[in-house]
Amino acid sequence: MKFETIIGLEVHAQMLTNTKIFCGCSSLFGAEPNTQTCQVCTGMPGVLPVLNKKALEYAIMTGLAMGCTISSHSRFARKNYFYPDLPKGYQISQYELPICEQGHIEISVDGEVRKIGITRIHMEEDAGKNIHEGTGKYSLVDLNRTGVPLMEIVSEPDMRSPKEAAEYMKKLRAILRYLDVCDGNMEQGSLRCDANVSVRPAGQKALGIRTEVKNINSFKFVEKAIDYERKRQIDVIKTGGQVQQETRLWNSAKAVTESMRSKEEAHDYRYFPEPDLGPIMVGREWIEEIRTRLPELPDAKRERFVSAYGLPEQDADILIGDRPVAAWFERSVAAGGQPKAVSNWMMVELMRLLNEENRSIETCLLRPEQLAGMLTLIDNGTISGKIAKKVFAEMYKTGKDAEAIVKDKGLVQISDQSAIEKAVEDVIAHNPNEVERFRAGEEKLIGFFVGQVMKKTKGKANPTIVNELLKKKLIDVI
Ligand code: ADP
Ligand code: MG
Ligand code: ZN
Strands 246-251 and 256-262: antiparallel
DSSP string across 318-377: HHHTSHHHHHHHHHHHHTT--HHHHHHHIIIIIHHHHHHHT--GGG-SS-HHHHHHHHHH
Q: How far is the CA of 132 from the centre of ligand 3 (A)?
A: 24
Q: Which ligand is nearest to the CA of 27?
A: 3
CA distance 307 to 351: 24
Atom number in ligand 1 closest to CA 157: 16
Q: How far apart are CA 67 and CA 181, in angstroms?
A: 16
Q: Which ligand is nearest to the CA of 11?
A: 1
Whether the CB-CB separation of 222 and 169 falls below 8 Å is answered with: yes
> How far is the C-alpha of 273 from the C-alpha of 252, rounded, in Å?
38
Q: How far is the CA of 186 from the centre of ligand 3 (A)?
A: 24
pLDDT confidence of residue 290: 97
* Most informative mutation of 7, 9, 10, 164 for ligand 1 (most atoms within 8 A of CB): 10
> Which helix (H) or strand (E) is 176 found in, with range?
helix 162-179
Do 341 and 349 form a contact (C-beta atoms < 8 A)?
A: no
> How much distance in Å is there from the Cα of 111 to the middle of ligand 1?
27
How far is 419 from 469, CA to CA, in rounded Å? 11
Write out residues with Cβ below 6 Å of ligand 1.
Answer: 6-10, 154-157, 196-198, 207-208, 210, 212
Angstrom distance (rounded) from CA 129 to CA 142:
5
Which residue owns the Cα nearest ligand 1 atom 22?
210
User: b vs e for 215-246, b when ≥16 Cβ sit within 10 Å of the residue's Cβ?
Assistant: bbbebebbbbbbbbbbebbbeebeeeeebeeb
Test site for ligand 1: of 11, 101, 154, most ligand atoms within 8 A of the Cβ? 154
CA 10 to ligand 1: nearest atom: 14
> Distance between terminal CA atoms of the chain?
69
**SS3 (DSSP) at 150:** strand
Structural domains of the chain, ranges and CATH numbers in brackets: 3-289 (no CATH), 296-409 (no CATH), 417-477 (1.10.10.410)
| Separation between Cα atoms, residue 135 and residue 157, nearest integer Å | 41
Instruction: Starting from the CA of residue 7, give the closest ligand.
Output: 1
pLDDT at 477: 58
Q: Could you give the C-alpha distances from 30 to 27, 35, 36, 223, in angstroms and in order? A: 9, 10, 10, 29
C-alpha torsion 176→178→180→186, nearest 10: 40
- Residue pair 151/103 in contact (Cβ under 8 Å)? The answer is no
Nearest Cα residue to atom 19 of ligand 1: 157
Torsion of CA 151, 154, 155, 156, to 10 degrees: -160
Distance CA 293, CA 63 (A): 13
DSSP state of 414: B
Which whole-number Å values give the CA distances from 168 to 111, 130, 173, 234, 423, in the listed order?
14, 30, 8, 23, 56
Question: Buried b vs exposed e over 411-420: b needs ≥16 C-beta within 10 Å?
Answer: bebbeeeeeb
Rounded Cα distance, 361 and 359, in Å: 7
State the distance from the centre of ligand 3 to the C-alpha of 275, rounded, in angstroms. 19
Q: Which atom of ligand 1 is nearest to the CA of 209?
A: 23
Residues of the chain with pLDDT under 70: 476-478
What sign has the CA pseudo-torsion 120, 126, 131, 137?
negative
Alpha carbon of 211 to ligand 2 centroid (Å): 9
Q: Which residues is 105 bridged to in the sheet? A: 116
Report how far Cα 446 is from the mean position of its chain's Cα atoms.
44
- Distance (Å) from CA 215 to ligand 3 centroid: 27
Ligand 1 center–CA 96 separation, angstroms: 15
pLDDT of amino acid 174: 95
Q: What is the structure's pLDDT at 458?
A: 79
- Give dist(CA 456, CA 460) in Å, integer: 9
Question: To 5 degrees, how large is the angle CA 47–CA 51–CA 52?
Answer: 120
Atom of ligand 1 nearest to the CA of 158: 16
Give ∠ CA 274-67-70 in degrees, rounded to 5. 30
Q: Counting atoms of ligand 1 from 1, which one is nearest the CA of 197? A: 25
**Nearest protein CA to atom 17 of ligand 1, as residue:** 8
Burial environment of residue 341 by CB neighbours within 10 A (0 to 12, 13 to 18, 19 or more): middle
For residue 195, the SS3 value is strand
Q: Which ligand is nearest to the CA of 36?
A: 3
d(CA 312, ligand 2 centre) in Å: 39
Mutate which of 196, 267, 269 for ligand 1 pocket (most atoms within 8 A of beta carbon): 196
This prediction's pTM: 0.84
Question: Which ligand gives the minimal distance to the CA of 243?
Answer: 1
CB atoms within 10 A of CB 467: 15
Report how far ligand 1's centroid is from the alpha carbon of 161 (Å): 16
What is residue 92's three-state secondary structure?
strand
Question: What does the radius of gyration of the chain's CA atoms come to, in whole angstroms?
Answer: 30
16 Cα: distance to centroid of ligand 2 (angstroms): 24
Q: Are strands 246-251 and 211-216 parallel, antiparallel or unpaired?
A: parallel
